Structure 1
């Protein structure tokens, strides 16, 4: 089973759990990617009901993805993970309201908007209808234009991946994709006018008759040729050689509104497939940088506090006699030793574990046991009586008396659908013992990882490397 298959079979609540409590950044990035791969077209559909403009829909969906990613990482929302789709629809709808309010001349919101409870079967039926019409439009393109259509619209390739498929430069790929999107959108509008606009314009009816068009009822769509498409577009155009028909131009806009909530998500999907992973990586980079900055600032503050306390103590010590000075020197030394003993192993575990007589040898007072379990799992540790999970990580780093027999028992969470055998990597009872239970006597520093086949694990950590 591939990693992609593992993510696609996870329910919404399971994906949210992996984002909130990942074993590493790679897992969090993969879970976020699957969430938006699963729902970015639904988000685009909600946006298309409200904005009805290709570029605005693309921009607002990206803003909504960024907002949703930050909230998912923060862990506060959604309050009900199983209702992830409805929560994402709510976020993008709020961003649409903000976009419309920012435009002073924007009209009121449309009366009809998509909700999370809309009939999925009806949405799929309308999607099939639009896809069939787009394929009809594509038959009127040149051979080169049809290749761009297949890779860009049908396979949803964009940017570098599209450039590779077309054997061209990335600059050309972006240019051709943009021109193709406009060509498809205009051609779709021309096809709609051919099917439904005859009764509104005598001149359009004459154009259709001259082309022998009889596809109003969805039959004989082969009659929609490249010449007919270009003639209808020239009928709408505003140059000197065009008809500049305002009637058909307005009629086309009105007719397209029925299809826009399905058409727009199809046209913007390739760009979103490229942009969404970039958004996720950027936000995760910002979170990592914020964590590093926070730790650095905390260390600087602690150092400044220590210097300030030391300076204050020195000034007061000058006023005391030599006996009091000696007492303070002893207390200060004891405080520094205690500080090193307590904080040293936490801040610099690798260094302290290598020190002689530190708790990683058989002669030590205690031995250290580190455990790693993936998201959705937990391991009960006997006889300590605690449970190790990605949430309660303090229970996964223990100090034990030498000679203690430790039993680790794995439990699967409600969102874990995998029911096969698990592996305890690092369990000394076997060369990577299998099963839900691992029992052994740690004689030195031990590190054990619970592994589900196909699950992305931090292998260097499990093998004792950092």
Structure 2
């Protein structure tokens, strides 16, 4: 996911603006990745309160990310971009409820009233406590296991990134990450039993006494003690299979699960989220392409329907045939007049210029975060108000375009005007020229800008 500090400085509303009105796909992907990098643990926390299971939480969070991505690129949600965190947590709650319903008879949702928006001070305190306990558990690992723990849990590396850090194959990296997650989860449960399970099980108390564990000196929680507690919980023939401690461990972990689970699944989510974003954007682009192809096919079909019939074909009802052809001709004219300018703007602009020399068309392209004031028309062109960016002017009108950086502009460098005047480039915050015929002017910020964007493929 992106580490660019430019995105860290943007507010939630600024990120939403970048998703809705990006310069190109790369900017939209980067803004989406920053949103979920910022809030994936909040989403995971909401799901952990309700599902309390590592794999279920991970699956539901990924579904919530996909749903949120689709709504963000759709442009309608969130209605209050400044409340992005609450909106994402709401999606997560709904997905948890749907997951629970789909599982039918697996019992009710845990009776949890807490959410990811709980008291910040309490959340930070519990997070610090869990992180301290995890580090205690990690001290009981081998040297190799501690390296995996540091890269996987603390630096949140997974897959190829973890493989590069450990100098191993990607296949082994996935295996080591999975084993590490299980090892950490089990070790955390063993530490909880060591701290709080003594009053509930006499045999566990004897195990702790033999290890010299008093619950106050963390350095006495050793690898041997961890393994002995886990064997006490085990179900094999040589293990104790203690049902009392098993239930007690489950009860104790419930308190910490909303913090522990997001930490354990974070590396996998950070790897998966960019893949989810790219897949959703690919599907959206295919849908848009299919719609455009459908419009073109409809226009071509209408032309074929209105074609002149073969004179050798006899028609016994000449009057009805005449009215039918007339209706088809009217339909084709209306279709061409409405769809034609959108499909073939250059051709229709030339026709309009030939038939109406008193008007010229000026199209302005503005990147997200900027706005352009147009004089003498008095309108402001922005990516949101695109109707103000496509103007009809009297022939010979002298136009002045003045650019302003908005609240969400990322770049402070100089601006460039492409197509001002008459196809040349002009720099500065203003551009003054007299358009001759149809003209397109692009405001370019001081960073790489795709030419397709300036050619009109927004």
The two structures have a TM-score, normalised by structure 2, of 0.86
Structure 2: distance between partners of 1:122 and 1:146:
29
Equivalent in the alignment of 1:9:
9
Deviates more, 1:444-453 or 1:369-378: 444-453
Equivalent in the alignment of 1:250:
247
Does the 8 Å contact 2:416/2:446 carry over to 1?
no
User: How far did 1:460 drift?
Assistant: 5.1
Structure 2: distance between partners of 1:190 and 1:127:
19
Q: Does 2:148 align with 1:154?
A: no
What secondary structure, in the 3-state scheme, does the structure 2 residue paired with 1:407 have? Answer: strand
Does the 8 Å contact 2:411/2:446 carry over to 1?
no
What is the aligned counterpart of 2:278 among 258, 270, 281?
A: 281
**Which deviations, in whole Å up to 9, do the C-alpha atoms of 1:307-335 show, x marking residues without a partner?**
112256977999889xxx9xx99x97xx8
Residue segments in structure 1 that go unaligned for 5+ positions in a row: none
Structure 2: distance between partners of 1:400 and 1:166:
64
- Seen in structure 2, the aligned counterparts of structure 1 residues 74 and 418 have a Cα distance that, compared at 3 Å, is closer
Equivalent in the alignment of 2:366:
373
The two structures have a TM-score, normalised by structure 1, of 0.84
Equivalent in the alignment of 1:142:
142
Q: Does 2:182 align with 1:182?
A: yes
User: How far did 1:303 drift?
Assistant: 1.3
Does the 8 Å contact 2:411/2:445 carry over to 1?
no
Structure 1: distance between partners of 2:425 and 2:301:
49
Does the 8 Å contact 2:43/2:116 carry over to 1?
no
Structure 1: distance between partners of 2:353 and 2:140:
76
Does the 8 Å contact 1:45/1:114 carry over to 2?
no
Two-structure CA RMSD over aligned residues (Å):
3.5
Does the 8 Å contact 1:421/1:434 carry over to 2?
no
1:52-451 mapped onto 2 (5 Å cutoff): 52-115=52-115, 117-214=117-214, 216-217=215-216, 220-311=217-308, 346-348=342-344, 369-398=362-391, 400=393, 403-413=396-406, 415-416=407-408, 420=412, 422-426=414-418, 428=420, 432-435=426-429, 437-442=430-435, 447-451=440-444
- Seen in structure 2, the aligned counterparts of structure 1 residues 99 and 464 have a Cα distance that, compared at 3 Å, is closer
**Which deviations, in whole Å up to 9, do the C-alpha atoms of 1:90-135 show, x marking residues without a partner?**
1111111111222233232233233354112211111111111111
User: How far did 1:20 drift?
Assistant: 2.2
What secondary structure, in the 3-state scheme, does the structure 2 residue paired with 1:390 have? Answer: coil
User: How far did 1:8 drift?
Assistant: 1.7
Structure 1: distance between partners of 2:231 and 2:116:
40
Equivalent in the alignment of 1:39:
39
User: How far did 1:412 drift?
Assistant: 4.3
Residue segments in structure 2 that go unaligned for 5+ positions in a row: none
Structure 1: distance between partners of 2:37 and 2:419:
38
What secondary structure, in the 3-state scheme, does the structure 2 residue paired with 1:258 have? Answer: helix
Aligned residues: 447
**Which deviations, in whole Å up to 9, do the C-alpha atoms of 1:13-37 show, x marking residues without a partner?**
2222222222322222222111111
